[in-house]
Structure 1
Amino acid sequence: MTTIVYIEDEHDIREDVTDELQEAGYRVVEAANAQEGLAAIRAEKPDLVLCDISMPGMSGLELLSRLRDKESRFDDLPFIFLSALADRNDILAGKRLGADDYLTKPVDMELLLATIEARLGQIRRIENKKNRQFVKLYTALTGRKLPVDASNIADFVEEAKADRPVLQVFIVADGKMDLSSVRSILESGGHAVHILKGGRDFMSRLDRGAAVDVVLVSYFTEDFAAPLLLKLIQDTYHLECPVMLLLPDDLKKTVREEQKS
């Protein structure tokens, strides 16, 4: 069941909204202030947070700032402000801190439920994409094929994570390539990720006896193009681990077109 942490200092409003959310099928964990809300978020790891702004002590804006700055495990947690404050500056402040939506009181429950479902749907799509990327990378590294129906990708991901060796993965790429997704997938699988900008740095690690289980090389690095670097690595170090090439999107398109012709 989807869990929502609802932070609201006014008891009657909190009770009414909680009843509506529960009737809609959500599990609701209530908090009367931001400190209670922070504790609930840490304990429950909810799917979404619904939060007032003006509260005694820590405000909703301060809570969101703390989560985004100091609790990186909640970076993707959807956060919706529900407040009587409708000032443009408050809305902008919330947006700059990473709030996903901002709704005003009195509560329009139909709009609130639609907003919640939209945010949860967006998170599901992101999670599904990450799971598909994990499966693709996992099968490339292990040769193990997806044993379940595509609708059960999440089950496969959890099984793979629970039954994995910890791999030492070296990524050699210049600073222009966005590696955040690849790194996130690997680290979420419990693997150690080492990112280096150039082939010389990587070969220096090999000279010092670094344990290497997987190598990912972008087509362009800080000092060598991938074909030359891969040849140097294989000729000099005779690596037996998987070595894979990361292609930028524009080069992928070129390769696909050449394969079709």
Structure 2
Amino acid sequence: MNILFIGDIFGSAGRKIVAAHIGHVRKTHAVDLTVINAENAAGGFGLTPGIADDLFQLGADVLTTGNHVWDKKELIDYLNSVPADSQEHARRILRPVNYYPGVPGHGVFQGVTTGGVSYAVVNLMGKVFMSGTEDPFRAVDNVLKGISAKVILVDFHAEATSEKVAMGWHLDGRVTAVLGTHTHIPTADERILHRGTAYQTDVGMSGPYDSVIGVETEMVLHRFMTGMPGKFEAARGNPKMCAALIGCDPQTGRASSIQRIMLGE
């Protein structure tokens, strides 16, 4: 079984580069499950229902998010529009499972591929240098108790490299893959851990690389050099799609391979 995970889509440049490549990548690698982190897809900050539907049309099975999930207010009602057991698009958009109780949406989706393989996707967020979350280690332990599928992908949206690496070891042998998002810089540490979990600290951004993690360079430099606030805008130059391709045994969920992908224009 092959799983394609596409890293944080940032703005229109990210959407366009993903649209240009996702089809042939899925076909070439006979992808069975496609997951995309889309929390920055709308202008670099947040996600709208319309953009989410476009990504589903491109072939996404599940969309994950992170700390920018609430940036577009129209998504809140959309996440609350379907019951927990629905298979509709709105239910396939996840927010971090370890957000405090009572927030809209869900942090886990369990489904079945067109080939009949049960799977689960867990959206988890780090606590180091981030706010608004409960302990991700205990949260994911509790979540796994309710998942029967063997194929389990975890999007760990976190800032600290150490926290991401720790989560990889914490879940080794219990999930198929732990893939980091949020920092927008792809790391060259993809590997299969000792007990069969695929791991990468950060898959990287699908968006404009002539930028500062997606934002127009001069705007970020101005803030660093003056300390003055200013509105950030998504850049467009040198777009690339960053992703990870994971091969696994659908019967055991054990990963057999992980490959970094970076594709440009």
Q: What is the TM-score when the length of structure 2 is the normalising length? A: 0.27
Ranked by relative contact order (alpha carbons within 8 Å, sequence separation 6 or more), the top structure is 2
Larger radius of gyration: 1
Bigger proportion of residues as helix: 1
Q: What is the TM-score when the length of structure 1 is the normalising length? A: 0.27
